Structure 1
Amino acid sequence: MTTTRHPHSFEDLPASAPRFVGKQVHRVEDPHLVTGRTPFIDNLTEPGLLHCAFLRSPYAHARIKSIDTSKAEKLPGVVAIVTGEDAKAMTNPIPSVPEGWGDYCLPPDKVRFVGEPVAAVAAESRYIAEDALELIEVEYEPLPVVVDARKAIEPDAPLLFEEHGSNVMLAKNFEWGDLERTFAEADHVFTERLRWHRLGANPMETFGVISKWDPVDGSLTCWAAVQSQSHAAMGIATVLGIPSHKMRVIAQPHGGSFGGKGGFRGSFVTAMLSRKTGGRPIKWTEDRMEYLVAGGSQSWDRHYEVSLAVKNDGTITGLKVELLDDLGATAEGFGSISAAKPLASFVGCYAIGAAGYDLKIVATNKLFSSPYRGMGPPPHNCVLEMAVDVAARGLGMDPAEIRRKNFIAPDAFPYTIPSGNEYDSGNYHAMLDRALEISNYAELRRKQEEARKEGRYLGIGVVTTIEPGVFDWNAYAIVGMPLTGVPEGVTIGFDMLGKITARIGFAHEGQGQFTLISQVLADYFGVDMSDVHVIQQDSLSAPPHFGPGGSRLGV
């Protein structure tokens, strides 16, 4: 058997020197983008297209006593309406992480956050669909609401999912090393309570989808502004209860993702409507208010307590992080994995021998948390770096020097951190020296001292963090997502004239991935970039793939 080793660095390329990788080149995506020829999801149409609109709950927590759609059904131009009863009959509950904290895409019994959809209309135009919503009558029974994670864990808190008997979705405590002894023997223990408030991103383009059911063979095709078409296909097939080989997703070019392009319920409900209309294509484009109130727009709602064990000379010997993570109303958005990913770089750049992570994820009557760029480490990094600053002030040390003292030594790599991840390489001392040099740090400190004498405050921040590029499902298994491997394949074909076609499984997202592929292949095969043509294929046709995520396509 012959084994081919693929190149892992510039030096491995079969050329004396790369002509395109690492060089300034014209992006291959740009001509279509700047001439307006890139087809975004809202540009697409299909014969017989119908438009979808959602009726949403005005309550954060309420039982649905009844829904009357009879008046809306009589409005000219309305073709189909679905409610929670249809979802219960036609779909499975939405998968969640942790498991068991999701409901149907249209809840049949109760709503858990403001903006949760309770019915959807398919009509000849979006205007008619929106008008029909006003004719649907819903009777609610308001329930007590909890929006504070600290109150959500109290014994008498209102329960979002009564069957669990608690709002605690997940509670796990990790300890690495002799944590108790490390803190007992420390010269100083610095403890801070910190709050990271819920945030959200606003990509220029919101989510959109067209779903088309084939009533003959029972297959479903979705054109959607999704980040990972293979992952979306798996989720839609699971909820709709159709075989995976009959679920086809065609990711459309989209103006950035930030984690908010999952689609979630929009894909499920438009598929239901298409099925109910005998296979007519159903289009839904999320408007801005829908995105803000009920889309994949929010993440990271956290209460922290962080402690450092420190010696008199500034050596940090132990780290403890207690996190109360408010995930919102359900766990359907996979936001919980943001609490798991910090394990990949838990102690940052520092050689801290003992560490602990007390993690508690809870449900409240807020919009469910979704993936957000960075996927969790940024709040953790912020908390760790603030704690190091507190220690520096407590010891009277310069913030840069306490960091330098605790960096992992260059000759210690590969280095395994307490949480088990291995850092392959690094020279944090040299990077800090360079950062201090180009910022003229000594001069900044001098100006700061002068400003304070004048009664003015001049802030200077020093931050050193690890950003774990790429990702693996192993860390996510702790919150209930035990998948294996994150594939990314490409099929390369040569025609008789030596021209190359590269077939991949993801769409344009704005970061120049098609250009990167063209650069690498041109250098590897010794051709010009113009000799390489990159083509996106759908989820069933492309080689094994995942798509953009964790900066993995550039790594």
Structure 2
Amino acid sequence: MSSLGKPMNRVEDARLLTGKGTYIDDLPVFPNTKQVMIMRSTLPHARIKSIDVSEALKMAGVEGILTGQDLRQDLDYLPVGVTAPVEYYPIAIEKVRYVGEPIAVIVAKNRYIAEDAMEKIKVEYDPLPAVVDVEQAAEPDAPILHEQVGSNVANHRYFHYGNADQAFAEADHIIKHKFKFPKYSATPVETYGVLASYDHASEVHTVHANFHGPFILHSLMAKALKVPSSHLRLITPKDNGGSYGIKAGLVPYIVLMSAVSKKLGLPVKWIEDRQEHLMSSSSGTDRVTYIEAAVKKDGKVTGFRMKFIDNVGAYIRAPEPACLYRNHGNTTGAYDVANLELETMAVMSNKCPTGLIRGYGGQQTYFPLERMMHIIAQELQLDPVDVIRKNLIATEKFPFRTATGGVYDSGDYVKAFNLVVETGKYQELRQRQEEARKEGRHLGIGFACIVEPSGSNMGYVTIALTPEERAKSLPKSGCPEAATVSIDPMGNVTVRISTTPSGQGHETVTAQIVSDVLGIPAERIRVIAELDTNTSAWSIASGSYSSRFAALGSSAVYHAAGKVKAKLIKIASSLLHTSEDELELQEGKVFVKEQPEKQVPLRRLTGLAHWNPADLPADMEAGIYETAYFSLPQAIQPDENDLINSSATYGFVADLVLVEVMPDTGEVRIEDYFTVHDAGTLLNPKIVDGQIYGGLAHGIGGALYEELMYDHRGQFLTGSFMDYLCPTAPEIPRVTLKHIETPSPLTPLGAKGLGEGNTMSAPAAVANAVSDALEGFGVKIDTLPLSPNYIWKLLR
């Protein structure tokens, strides 16, 4: 009996809930390992005149102190995906460009000595003007961060799809607005950690790090260390205390610790503290969006003009400017809009650099898009439900090709939206709202309908280049993932995956899939989730990001298990003297379908492959060890017209939220939250729901609380949880969650990714509800987060 689609308990939880997890700080260290403390810049923009470490080096227990000048000859800059000549090193060499940038590395017997030594280091700066506002940073007269670039604009592109001029010329209404999305983080329970050791004999860097990928960055790290990629051995631990994309920002620290280990001839260990994490790890991108909609009088949108301005921080570092392009194929979301003009800009400023985060680029895209649907309804005096329905992609149009080249593989957006409207009892909520207004209370109702992409097509990163620039470089495409399934002589199964999970339950679902394919109990299947770039099967796309496991990781597991099954059936065919198509594998044996008594145990088949290969069928290799790589032929490089199918599969989320706003205090209370998801075939509903709740909490944080703030001089203001507010259990609302399933025709199990959807939809849905609640105040919600302070000031 198949276990897929059933709510099986997570196999990971037995160790995690009993304190037996193996995280980065739990790993045994290399012999003679020393501890590292990083000294960081206190200024947002300055030239480094001198760093005096003489007094610190005299302290007992200090093994060495290295600055950017000390490491300059050992490092190359980390490559970036744009043509702008930005040289990004993991440590400042001549100039600091944000508060928190590393300027010195102290290596000592323990962290306490290292911190004491840091206080004795004397740094002399020559301060420079700073800029943090992204639009000011893009101006020609702004302080320049990188003189060799000559501008803070690192990437600037224009795109034209369909005929936007005609759509706007024929529009009954042109509605425009400007929106600001905040810079915020993900605050995983476990911060960054690196153990690095350089072996001078083999010239190999061995690094343990809680890095979740994508492993396309492995080659960039090797280049920065000036070694062949085979000489950088990167090992991820079995357990990772959350990432949500943020731990891709470990790249510079992996390089830095590796260089320090080589320079000093010592293994080193660095564990980030919370203040470092908030100030200088990574974050999502703050974006300014200008958007215009060409609208007919019935609410039908016929065209968009958009301008995205991303603040990538002090350096544009890989994978940026991907935040601008990760959702390029789904720029118009769930709506059937054929005409689009789009301008994109990645701008550097004196903030901490940005990178991957849960929903990468999606929340920035959908906040203005979904707000516009409500603004259109408001200005045309229509019901937002009617405007959304009018514009949703019709069911019969799937698979649907978007204006920008995305191929939505399957879906029934109208059905899912109708379900959330019915589940939330929309008309009753409107009646409740009217009654509340008579009492002087301010209830608001908001919607968001978003497409959830999963499984990045690596070709999307090159959309940052013009077609002419792309033609001069090697094309990039695909979304490959790998898995290996093996069976030992006793019939026990081991599966090795390269999706580097960080709490999503990959081990559980992997065991379910292999159990289903091979017909053996899941408890006889051991899943190895830690990845070793020297011994594991992996690809540049491997890693835990872009919700890629359900669509791609599970498919690789399924095919690897299928290869094992085919081999077992072939062996059984020779033993039973029966054709392979007459055989079935179930419950630990292979048998003839029409004569079940004619069978051979799985253990005998595996034993033969290991102990007696001479009796295997001709041309069959000994052993049972199969690796499969899975990708999609639809994941191709951008064409000459900048059309790109930027993801492997596309799910759908429809949200309905009810809020109450307290004008006297500015507090926003979420009274009810309804969400409907379509992620194709659900592999394990229990894990699915857990991922959705987590994504919703993250989205609510961005909607109401979280922002990494700087003052106008570039000083960082939210360096602890006293200032950087995150939602806690009391702030998470009652959630009603429902699913529909339209299986993907592209994946063998019909599954699509999920877990990021509400991170992308919640900021827009909540903002729409708050705007609806404050309709009588004559304000528009165009900035997040909707903190009490912001709301209170907005109403004054």
**TM-score, normalisation: structure 1:** 0.94
The equivalent residue for 1:102 is 87
After superposition, the Cα gap between the structure-2 partners of 1:369 and 1:33, relative to the gap in structure 1 and judged at 3 Å, is same
- Is contact 1:343-1:419 (8 Å) kept? yes
Tell me, what secondary structure is at the counterpart of 1:264? Answer: helix
Alignment of 1:29 with 2:12, yes or no, is yes
Matched, 1:166 2:160: no
| 8 Å CA contact 2:81, 2:461 repeated in 1 | no
- Whether 1:493 and 2:469 are equivalent positions in the alignment is no
CA drift of 1:127 comes to 1.0
Match of 1:63 in 2: 47
Give how far 1:354 is off.
0.4
Q: What is residue 203 of structure 2 aligned with on the other side?
A: 218
State the partner residue of 1:512. 505
1:83 alignment counterpart: 67
1:291 paired residue number? 277
Structure 2: 5+ residue stretches without partners: 552-796
The 8 Å contact of residues 172 and 295 in structure 2, kept in 1 or not, is answered as: yes
| Partner residue in 1 for 2:398 | 413
| Residue matched to 1:273 | 260
Pairwise mapping of residues 206-245 of structure 1 onto structure 2 (< 5 A)? 206-228=191-213, 230-245=215-230
Residue 189 in structure 1 maps to residue 182 in structure 2 = no
Instruction: Specify whether residues 537 and 455 from structure 1 end up closer, same or farther in structure 2 by C-alpha distance, changes over 3 A only.
Output: closer
Aligned counterparts of 2:380 and 2:534: Cα–Cα separation in 1: 59
In structure 2, what residue type is equivalent to 1:39?
T
Match of 2:544 among 537, 541, 548: 548
Indicate if the aligned counterparts of 1:87 and 1:105 stay in contact, CA closer than 8 A: no
The residue identity in structure 2 corresponding to 1:286 is E
Sequence identity percentage: 36
CA distance in 2, matches of 1:291, 1:442: 45
Q: Which residues of 2 match residues 145-156 of structure 1 at below 5 A?
A: 145-156=130-141
Q: Which piece of structure 1 moves more, 100-109 or 442-451?
A: 100-109
Alignment of 1:253-272 (within 5 A): 253-262=239-248, 263-272=250-259
Query: 2:291, 2:531 → 1: CA distance?
Result: 46
Which amino acid letter does the alignment assign opposite residue 281 of structure 1? P
Indicate which of 96, 119, 123 corresponds to 1:111: 96
Which of 92-101 and 433-442 deviates more?
A: 92-101
Which residue of the partner structure matches residue 24 of structure 2?
Answer: 41
The list of structure 1 runs, each at least 4 consecutive aligned residues, that deviate by more than 6 angstroms after superposition, is none
Moved more, 78-87 or 46-55: 78-87
Which of residues 522, 526, 531 in structure 2 aligns to 1:529? Answer: 522
Displacement after TM superposition at 1:333 (Å): 4.9
Opposite residue 101 of structure 1, the aligned amino acid is: V
Contact 1:299–1:370, Cα closer than 8 Å, also in 2: yes
Question: 2:415 aligns to what SS in structure 1?
Answer: helix
Q: Give the SS at the match of 2:125.
A: strand
Please show how residues 112-511 of structure 1 align to structure 2 within 5 Å: 112-228=97-213, 230-252=215-237, 253-262=239-248, 263-278=250-265, 280-296=266-282, 298-479=283-464, 483-511=476-504
Range moving further from structure 2, 124-133 or 216-225: 124-133
Q: CA RMSD in A?
A: 1.6
Pick which of 325-334 and 498-507 moved more: 498-507
| Gap change, CA 1:395 and 1:506, over 3 Å in 2 | closer
User: 1:76 deviation in Å?
Assistant: 1.2
TM-superposed deviation, 1:485: 2.8
Moved more, 314-323 or 90-99: 90-99
In the alignment, is the contact (CA less than 8 A) between 1:189 and 1:310 conserved in 2?
A: yes
SS at match of 2:246: coil
Shift of 1:172: 0.6
Q: Distance in 1 between matches of 2:157 and 2:461?
A: 13
Q: Shift of residue 286 of structure 1?
A: 0.5
What is the CA–CA distance in structure 2 between the aligned matches of 1:390 and 1:34, rounded to whole Å? 46
Distance (Å, rounded) in 1 between the aligned partners of 2:441 and 2:76:
61
Deviation of 1:456 after TM superposition, in Å, equals 2.6
| Equivalent position amino acid for 2:493 in 1 | I
Letter in 2 for 1:217: S
| One-letter code aligned to 2:314 | A
Q: How does 1:13-24 map to 2 (within 5 A)?
A: 19-24=2-7
One-letter amino acid of the counterpart of residue 416, structure 1: R
CA pair 371-429 structure 1, distance change in 2 beyond 3 A: same
- Name the CA distance, whole Å, in 2 between partners of 1:527 and 1:492: 13
Structure 1 residue identity aligned to 2:234: V
Determine if contact 1:230/1:249 at 8 Å carries over to the other structure. Answer: no
Say which SS state the counterpart of residue 96 (structure 1) adopts.
coil
1:539 lines up with 2:523 in the alignment: no
Take 2:446 and 2:511, find their aligned partners in 1: how far apart are those partners?
Answer: 39
The one-letter code matched in structure 2 to 1:288 is R
Spell out, residue by residue over 1:104-142, the C-alpha distance to the aligned partner (whole angstroms, 9 max, x if none). Answer: 222221000011111101111111111121222221100
Residue aligned with 1:314, SS:
coil
**d(CA) in 2 for partners of 1:333, 1:65:** 29
Cα offset, 1:382, TM superposition: 1.4
Paired residue type of 1:277: L
Q: Quick one: distance in 2 between partners of 1:264 and 1:144?
A: 28
- Residue 213 of structure 1 deviates from its aligned partner by 0.3
How far the C-alpha of 1:305 sits from its partner, in A, is 1.0
Distance 2:442 2:77 in 1: 54
Once the two structures are TM-superposed, the CA of residue 255 in structure 1 deviates from its matched residue by: 1.2
Alpha-carbon distance in 2 for matches of 1:487, 1:404 = 36
Unmatched segments (≥5 aa) in structure 1: 1-17
Looking at structure 2, the residues matched to 524 and 533 of structure 1 have their Cα atoms a distance apart, in angstroms, of: 15
Deviation at residue 508 of structure 1 after TM alignment: 4.2
Q: 1 CA distance for matches of 2:104 and 2:148?
A: 24
Q: Which amino acid aligns with 2:261?
A: S
State the Cα distance separating 1:229 from its structure 2 match. 7.1
Inter-partner Cα distance in structure 2 for 1:244 and 1:98: 22
Moved more, 396-405 or 38-47: 38-47
Distance, in Å, in 1 between the alignment partners of 2:227 and 2:165 is 51
